[in-house]
Every structure is written in structure tokens, then in C-alpha cells.
Amino acid sequence: MKILGNKKAVLPMAIAATLALGQQPASAQGLFDMLFGGGIRHNPQGEFPLPPKPRKIRPAVPAGEGGGSVRISSPTYNTYRADKLVRVDFKSLLPAPQPVTAQDAAFVPSVTSNSFRDAVAGLSDYELFAEPDIAKALIAYYSANPDFIWVSDNAPNSRAEDAVRVLGEAASYGLTPADYSVDVPASSSSAAPEERTKELVRFEMALSARVLRYAHDAQSGRVDPNRITGYYDFPAKPFDLEGALKTLAHTQEVRTYLESRHPQNAEYQALRVELEALEASEENEIVVDPKLLLKPGESSPELPKLLTLIARNLDDEMGGNYGEILARLGKSEVYEPELVPVIKAVQQRAGMKGDGVIGPRTVASLAGTSKADKIEKVKVALEELRWMPSDLGSPRVFINQPAFTASYIDNGEEKLKTRAVIGKVTNQTAFFYNQIKQVDFHPYWGVPQSIIVNEMLPRLRSDPGYLDHAGYEVTDSRGKRIPSAAVDWGAYGANIPFSVRQQPSEANALGELKILFPNKHAIYMHDTPQKSFFARDMRALSHGCVRLQDPRGMAAAVLGTTVDDIAEKLKHGHSTENVTRVIPVYVAYFTAWPDMSGKVEYFDDVYGRDSKLMQALDATEAVRTPAS
């Protein structure tokens, strides 16, 4: 579960130690009774004694702090502002002025007869713009290594030719070739030697600047995701720009080096293949009414269009099961009973519940995403993959929020795939990655500060003892347990110096287990008593944590054991087991993502994040456009 707190909110140490999952709100009144079994009375057991007789605790409250309707807000989306380019300052590379003699005046420098230091005189009035770190790296590298990388024998060399070719192929990675374009001098020129030298040294600097931009973009992406929103949380990927130029200066394998900067995983390659196929494809000539709603027995002229699309994309399994039916009824406008299993199979493959009713989501999965929309989703996915490690690791857990699924992948095989519930639009699940650390059996639920303030506090102001009889425990900043009824809840606003946790029970918000991967968002995977949510197609329903339909299967996978073993552990009450292997977990957000066979699937942008990323990319393009 994610804490939806602003940057100024201070979390008490006790709450920080127990941050955990929330539940779906219904209304302030009776919310936790309805969802978590608040009407069930629990006798405190275990490590805490029975609560003492209540006495009101009234701490000193700063003026304006208590009694109001203060809320802890969610992260917001920002208007992305890309770093401005700077003009590269070549002054430090220029030779110091020397007295001019008649012999010097008759001398014209050239790339072949003179040193690089002589040639850089042609940069004195050159306007080259680059990112600040790239501009700095250019000067640092060429100050320490005063020689050409891309020029030999008075012409661009084979390294330059390879680099220019790679930069020109940027579109195949979803990048913009214009960002890396360089004017290449002709191999031979009739220009005066001095002009030729100036042309070549300027080409040298421009190509180095654009090669560094390309290598950085390939490795880390064109935008800093963390500037877009607090829902993105990615560590920086250090890139030695000077080191890159040194490598390129001493290798003939320029293409190999530059291509190696891109993510080296099968998913990235599958998305590139999809992009190429989309670019070469025709726009879908079959257009289906996106608002179609058709139940078995009803008829519509739109039905044959859908059946044609299904028949066009049959694989061996679907063809074997339903090929004959589609061949016989493919032109039917009546939704015959024999067609219902076909539609259900298509729906299930698209991650829907398979109810056989043809609605907008079914239409969208078959015909609702245009070629242009698919291309945009793939380009967005390629950019997002650059934020992540090049090697995603094995084994790993991969949660794709728009698909509402969580998978355990080992040695290239998806050994477990389960339905998942993610955060509501108002309580969004963050996009980040971490490492799985432990599994808690029959866990306590440490209520996040945001839920205490936003959802519990209004109830507690009128019913201070609510938590005492609803199965929750309240502790102060020293960890001492106190009765809920003893706290003057009306005296507090956004900063509450108490932690609240729910005892293990059938009504516990986390169900019977949770799987932790420590992160500042307090998000983890867990069970839930609200099993009905998994039957829904749209499963953005939680406070931010990831609820699993098969939590025992996932726990067994990460612990390297069996589901039977997990069941046995659950018989023994509350306990914790550490995960001893390195298992990265990706709490990801991809509206285009390949399955294990490499086929790219498309999903609804439930949080509207793709458009925010496109705005950031557009802002970056706008900054780069006037660059030379």
C-alpha cells in the first residue's frame, strides 16, 4: 500500500516501521466496519496487554493544527521542463595567442599537416549547443586528449561513418533521428585548406556531442521520469561521458558500442520488432463501433467484423479449437450460442473475465487501438524500459499495472501469472523496482498515515473508541500501547504522533500473507479478504498496494518452496520468513508489453500516464530543436 503524503508530512517513527496496505474506501462513516469487519469484537492477544482504563490524552497542538479537515494529498503530475542546452565554450581548447611572424602568416593549418591543437582555432566562433553535462565532457575530454576521433587523412573516417549510420537508425528504437543529426563533410573537397580544416574540426565536435546524446538516451532515456511525478521513482543511471569518448577513440566497433547502450533484454527487442511491423503495416481497414454492446442471441452488423479480426489472428491453439466455427459462422450477424466460447476465449486471452458479452473492452482488445495509438504506446514502452536495468534478472517478479497482473519469471519461463488489484486513480500505485526481502504470514496491518488522517480521523472525532472495538491497536511514539478512546483525536490534523495497526484476523486488510520489498512508497504484494475484486476487468481498486489473487502461489515461488508448505506455515499463526535469493521485483506500468512468446499486448492507460510522458518528450524535443 502506498502512503499518499506530501513532502512536508512528517511520519512518526512508529508508523514508518509499520507502513502497509490500505483498503478501498466506501464512505467515511462505517468504512472500516464494512470492509475490515469492524463490527467483530477482538480480544487483544499476544505481545500487548489489555488496554488500561481510558483517560483523555490532550497534547499541546499548534494553532490551526487540530480540528480542521486537513488531508494528506497524493503526488501530482508536473508540467515537464527539460534542461536548456548551453553553448559549448571552446575557449580553453584554443591555443594561446602568439606573436605573428611573416613565416607564420604564410602558413595555413590543415588536418593532415598539423596537430589537432592547430585545427581547434576553427572553433573560435563556432556555435554548438549541447546538454550541460555533455558540453562539460567535450571540453574535459579534448583538453586531456587533443586529437581527432572521427577524422583521418583530411576526411571523416570509418568510425564516423559507422556512428552516423547508427544515429540515422534512431527511429528503429523509438527515438527521433533529428536529435542526433550531424552535417557530414564530403570525403573530398575543393575548399581552401583553412576552410576544410574548420569544417572538419566542427564536424568532430558536433558528432561527439550527438554521439554522447544518443548513448545517454539509449541507456537512460530522454527524460528524467522522477520530474514528471512522484509516482515515478527511479535511481539515476551513471554514465561516464568522457569514458565513452575514450572508448570510441580506441575502437573500430563503434556500432557495437553504441547499440550496447540500449537495454539488452528480450522485451526491448520484442518492442522494437513490433514497432518495425507497425510502421510497415497498413492502417486497420476494419473499423468496429467502439460502443458496441452485444449479448448472446442478439444481432448486429458489427459482429462479422469482429469475427473477421479474430479469424485473422488465430494461432494453432485457437485455430484448432474454434477454426471450424469461425469458418462456418464468420459472416453471421446473429450472436449464436456456438460463438460464445470463441468470444470468451478471446476475452480471457486479453485478461478479461470472459463473460461472453461483447462490450467496449472486447472491441478495444480486437479493433479499438489504432495503428497510431499502438505506435505511441510502443514508443512510450521503449522509453520506460530505458529507465530500468538492462538485465531484468532471473528469477524476477513483474507486475504490470495496466494489465492488472503479477508474474513470477524464471529462466525465461513465466512460472506463475496471477490477477492483481492495483491502486485507484486517486491512490495510484507507483512505478519503481526493488528487491523482495520477506514474506509475512498472518501479518499485522500498519495503517498508513494517509488513511489514518483522510479516512479514520473523521470517524474518530465523533467516536474516539472506534479503533478499540474494531480490532486495531494504537501505540504512541515510544511504542507504548494506549486505548483509542484515550486520545483526543479532534486535537490533530495531518501529523498524528500515534501508529495504528490491525491485528491478524480473517478481517485483516492484508488477508493471510504479504510479500515485502522495502520502499519509500510502502507498497507490497498481499492477500485480501475482498476476493470479488478479482472477477472485475478493471481492477484499479486499492489504496496503492498490489493485491494478488494467488498470494500463496507467489509466496511459494519467491521462497522457493511449495504451496503446500505455505499452507503449513499459515497454520502456525503470525511469523516472518526472509527471502534468501536475489529476486528483483518490478512494479511497472506498460500499456504495451510483450508476452513470453514475444507477442505485444496492449492495455488501457488506467492512470493516463502515457500522455504525461508524451508531454515530457515533447518538451525535450522543443529544447533540442533549435540546437545546431
pLDDT digits (tens, 9 = 90+) for 137-183: 999 999 999 999 999 999 999 999 999 999 999 999 999 999 999 99
Report helix angle 340-349 to 316-329, nearest 10: 140
Cα dist from 350 to 50, 289, 362, 509, whole Å: 51, 19, 8, 29
What pLDDT does residue 90 have? 96
Q: Is the pLDDT of residue 485 over 50?
A: yes
Q: Is the pLDDT of residue 384 over 70?
A: yes
Which band of pLDDT confidence, cut at 50, 70 and 90, is reported for residue 98?
A: low
- Strand-pairing partners, residue 602, are 592
Q: Of 336, 337, 317, 351, which is closest to residue 549 (Cα–Cα)?
A: 351
Q: In whole angstroms, give the CA distance from residue 199 to residue 191.
A: 10
Which band of pLDDT confidence, cut at 50, 70 and 90, is reported for residue 97?
A: low
Express each pLDDT in 450-459 by its tens digit: 888 888 988 8
Which band of pLDDT confidence, cut at 50, 70 and 90, is reported for residue 53?
A: low
Express each pLDDT in 518-547 by its tens digit: 999 989 999 999 999 999 989 999 999 999
Q: Is the pLDDT of residue 129 over 90?
A: yes
- Strand-pairing partners, residue 578, are 438
137 neighbors 213 (Cβ within 8 angstroms): no
Look-up: residue for cell 561521458?
A: 241
Q: Is the pLDDT of residue 16 over 70?
A: no
Which band of pLDDT confidence, cut at 50, 70 and 90, is reported for residue 626?
A: low
Min mean pLDDT across 263-267, 277-281, 558-562 is at: 277-281
Q: Is the pLDDT of residue 66 over 60?
A: no
Cα dist from 106 to 101, 138, 193, 198, whole Å: 9, 31, 13, 17
* Span 63-79, average pLDDT: 70
> What cell numbers appear for 606 in the block?
488506467
Question: Taking all residues of the chain, what is their mean pLDDT, rounded to a whole number?
Answer: 86
Look-up: residue for cell 509499520?
A: 18
What pLDDT does residue 288 have? 87
Which band of pLDDT confidence, cut at 50, 70 and 90, is reported for residue 477?
A: confident
Q: Is the pLDDT of residue 512 over 80?
A: yes
Give this prediction's pTM.
0.79
Domain spans of the chain, in order of start: 13-75+409-588, 86-222+235-264, 303-368
Express each pLDDT in 204-246 by its tens digit: 999 999 999 999 999 999 999 999 999 999 999 999 999 999 9
What pLDDT does residue 617 have? 98
Which residues have C-beta within 8 Å of that of residue 561, sequence separation ≥ 6? Answer: none
Q: Of 367, 374, 403, which is closest to residue 291 (Cα–Cα)?
A: 367
What pLDDT does residue 11 have? 31
Can you say whether the dihedral through the CA atoms of 157, 158, 162, 168 is positive or negative?
positive
Which band of pLDDT confidence, cut at 50, 70 and 90, is reported for residue 423?
A: very high
Express each pLDDT in 291-335 by its tens digit: 899 999 999 999 999 999 888 878 888 888 899 999 999 999 999
